Structure 1
């Protein structure tokens, strides 16, 4: 409670004393006198006199900051001022007679923005404080002495080629160490230094956007955009810095494969094995990665299933292989159509446009092949006992090569060791050299060779089976001499002996033998011969 308040209370008590009873009045007066003595013995509090202190950063040494002053100070140098606290003596000093405060070194707001200090006023004679110690603040005011600094450099990003205008690319961020609450020293504006038609930057946020949909990765796959950050809200006199933003274009599947050749021509010999590689076709795709991978298919325009194509995913080639054996003599040229199509397609794009076709023509080369017999083997017939020189049959072979070389025939000697047959060297007719006996051998197997009538001509061989046809040139024969016996007690009609005969010939319907007693032999009336006619190879019973 200050002195004025005490005086008001005292006056109020004195005035109230006239209205109270005497006894109460006396007591009240006593209390009032006691308060009056207390107030008169207490120093009346006056106060410090100063305003808030500011000093610009980077000020020169001995820069005047401000003055502290007690209202006890009459200007007669009786008061001594003392400065203590944060920065006293190191950053600031005070004139102890006047209370003026000065900076003693350059200050940096970004290192320390304010100083909390304390002041005392001392009576030089009594060395007693005339004011209670007071705390105050010296604030360092910002000046634009810092450049913006880009954060998180380098800036590298990727966007799809052909993306729509307004697509967000990346955000760049710059910071400024100046005071954002004082002036525009920390207010940053972004801009693109070199104008170009593909990108823009939002001045306040630093977000980069696309401007054009015409960025084609296959023409240009990377853009370097220089972004400037300038403080002082972009006004002249501010600091500025730049950064380079690397923008890469990622691929989309917007290009179709293109064959390197409008027509491919390949050659294959007719004796190429199944699975042989006939040739390789190649389509290039200017996209990258999976978007450039190609599959191949073929369609045979004038044949069926003679060729196939394999996709080589490492080289991106189509490998045409042989699926069936070739024959120059039956077909010497093939016309195929090959198609290349992207292996992976974007569902948002028309995949039917991402294809290409080319023609493939394959020529079959003639290979010198052995003569070809008209059949895999020959079955010929000749009757036994046919006179020498009789024709057994004819074999025929043909050279199917383009030159159609004449053929020469011969019988391999190891299959004709007895020189039973001979062959006409020019026409392939086989004749018997000597009569044949079916009962001695009814099958003959020989091998005939057909050789091209040219130097080092190729040879083919064929099996010839000759069957000897039977003729009835053998009489029946008894297999043994029969010596039957009979008991004297034999009864009439009793079977004594069964006899049979055999014939080396082989008639189609079997043998029919007729038995009779030889004429001219004395007949014994005691025995008879019974002929079982009508039975094939039947036995005859003698009774």
Structure 2
């Protein structure tokens, strides 16, 4: 059987281990010897055998960690050699050694109980699988011992360190130092130690909080992009991290998106500005509710901080506003002085100020018009002339201003001049036989045509909207003109001008006089208003 010898024996050496005897040594002289590693091979001389007695000796202390087994051959003269197996029995002569003399790890302050932070490992050089090499781990100490002295636990078999206590708080205890021990012989034997440093990292476990519950600001009406108020917050999380950076949002009081809010460069300020024009007359005060959040969500249940912002709108003296930005009126050029052109109306939006509105002519190239300062009534100041170089396309433009306390608002007045008079012969032929209208000859008053139109031929369509129940639709009549002078009067006034398929189209009103009665006789004594749509076609 194998020979077992404990390691680290203190001797005395040479130490007899066993005696090997041949069954022939009683009848004859036997010579004994050994061969193999530890005998005649390296390490030579570790084992010897007495040649006469067969006693096997070891000559020095054995170390199982250096070599745990030896195999020798015992020889007895000419007999076949016998195998000798020597087992070095393990003794607990090695203490556990950690793979690192110190460890550093991080643990998030929001980590729940049972979270593994780091695993430490120690080894023991003694024989694997027995008590001399089986280790148990434990935490010897924790610094600081707050908020409790058992903030961490360690798995005694594998060295995994876990969160055990509640209350990790980077802002109060940013670092912990643990002393860890590994012991063999079921934790009662030799020991080894190491240090573990745990850095507590920040989590978003603190909400940003406004420094005031209410903020006041003011801004002039109509100002856009102007700072109204700056709001400050504080946050106990680590500065300049997503858990510390603040974001602001208006959650109530701004349905029309009149305001904008942004985060200041230091990430702890909310800046409210006007996004649209504010109107003092519509709303003098705006009450906003603002909420603040971080870049990342909270890691524990927390309540968002809110603040109220009261914005006061300052009144600014605004200019009066005309009811119509531009107004076109149609008047004859031969209107007498003091004839009424129009009544201009402007209102002051600053109703709280009760400022009177005044009127003034700002630009009147020919000085033809005047305006009553208080009423806005525009009248003829001097006789008008359609042939004036300031009349373009039969239009003359005047700029009228309204003001209060020096604030101006301007508008244009476009005066349509009466078309000059000229002789024409007009033959009117009904296109609807049901009317029974006979051809009529109409005399147009004398007046020159504008020079720019002198090279065109003319065609007219007379449109007669029905005023009675007998005629329910509008009927068109073709009227061609010549320069032959006939009896009768036909007055034409330009009402409007359109562009249609590159042709200018004039809308005109007219009146006729036959036998001293001003109307257009269709044969049934009914009176109709009439317009002429003039198509200007280049002459061929």
Question: TM-score band, normalised by the shorter chain?
Answer: 0.5 to 0.7
For residues 88-137 of structure 1, give each alpha carbon's deviation from its aligned partner in whole angstroms, at most 9, with x where no partner exists.
1242334545555444455321120121112234xxxxxxx276533223
2:32 maps to 1:107:
no
Compute the displacement of 1:197 (Å): 1.9
Does the 8 Å contact 2:202/2:237 carry over to 1? yes
In structure 2, do the counterparts of structure 1 residues 153 and 444 end up closer, same or farther at CA, with 3 Å as the change threshold?
same
TM-score after normalising by structure 1:
0.60
Whether the 8 Å contact between 1:366 and 1:401 is mirrored in structure 2 is no
Structure 1 residues 103 and 201: CA distance shift in structure 2, 3 A? same
Does the alignment pair 1:199 with 2:152?
yes
Report whether the alignment pairs 1:335 with 2:287.
yes
RMSD after superposition: 5.4
Which residue of structure 2 aligns with residue 91 of structure 1?
A: 46
Residues 33-432 of structure 1 aligned to structure 2 (within 5 Å) = 52=3, 54-57=5-8, 59=10, 62-70=13-21, 80-88=31-39, 89-97=44-52, 99-121=54-76, 129=77, 132-151=80-99, 161=109, 165=113, 171-180=119-128, 184-195=131-142, 196-217=149-170, 219-220=172-173, 222-235=175-188, 238-247=189-198, 255-273=206-224, 296-301=248-253, 304-309=256-261, 320=272, 322-340=274-292, 353-365=302-314, 369-373=318-322, 375-377=324-326, 388=337, 393=343, 398=348, 400=350, 409-413=359-363, 415-417=364-366, 419-423=367-371, 430-432=378-380
Q: Is the 8 A contact 1:479 1:501 kept in 2?
A: no
* Contact 2:22-2:30 at 8 Å conserved across structures: no
Q: Deviations over 1:183-207 (max 9, x none)?
A: x432423221115221233444545
Q: Distance in 2 between matches of 1:73 and 1:302?
A: 117
> Number of residue pairs matched?
431
What secondary structure sits across from 1:234 in the alignment? coil
Name the CA shift for 1:437/1:513 in 2 (closer, same or farther; >3 Å).
Answer: farther
SS in 2 for 1:233: coil
Aligned to 2:479: none
- SS for the counterpart of 2:70 is strand
Gap runs ≥5 in structure 2: 143-148, 420-442, 448-483, 494-508, 517-522, 529-540
Query: Aligned pair in 2 of structure 1 residues 67, 380: CA closer, same or farther (>3 Å)?
Result: closer
- How far apart, CA to CA, are the structure 2 residues paired with 1:199 and 1:322? 53
- In 1, Cα distance between equivalents of 2:344 and 2:486: 47
Alignment deviations for residues 348-392 of structure 1 (CA, whole Å, 9 cap, x no partner) = 976xx5322111233445556555445534577989877645665
- What is the rounded CA distance, in whole Å, between the counterparts of 2:162 and 2:36 in structure 1? 53
Greater share of strand: 2
> Which of residues 386, 396, 400 in structure 2 aligns to 1:448?
400
For 2:353 and 2:336, locate their aligned partners in 1 and report how far apart those are by CA, in whole Å.
40
2:7 and 2:61 in contact (8 A); partners too: no
Structure 2 CA distance for aligned equivalents of residues 53 and 503 of structure 1: 147
Kindly state the Cα deviation for residue 336 of structure 1 after the two structures are TM-superposed: 0.6
Q: Distance in 2 between matches of 1:280 and 1:99?
A: 103
Q: Give ranges in structure 1 of 5+ residues lacking alignment.
A: 1-49, 122-128, 471-475, 481-496, 516-531, 538-543
Q: Write the distance in 1 (CA, Å) between the matches of 2:8 and 2:229.
A: 81
What secondary structure is seen at the aligned counterpart in 2 of 1:178?
A: coil
- Which residue of the partner structure matches residue 409 of structure 2? 460
Q: CA deviation at 1:408?
A: 6.9
Q: Does structure 2 retain, via aligned residues, the 8 Å contact 1:295–1:342?
A: yes
Deviation digits for residues 415-459 of structure 1 (CA, Å, limit 9, x no counterpart)? 332x22234567755443335689999975411234676xxx654
Q: Hey, what's the Cα distance between the residues in 1 that align with 2:315 and 2:179?
A: 68
Q: In the superposition, relative to structure 1, how do residues 276 and 153 fare at CA in structure 2: closer, same or farther (>3 Å)? A: farther
Q: Is the 8 A contact 2:358 2:402 kept in 1?
A: yes
CA contact (8 A) 2:281 2:349 kept: no
**Alpha-carbon shift at residue 228 of structure 1 (Å):** 0.4
SS in structure 1 at match of 2:513: coil
Question: 1:500 — aligned with what?
Answer: 487
Shift of 1:397: 6.7
Q: Which of the two has higher C-alpha Rg? A: 1
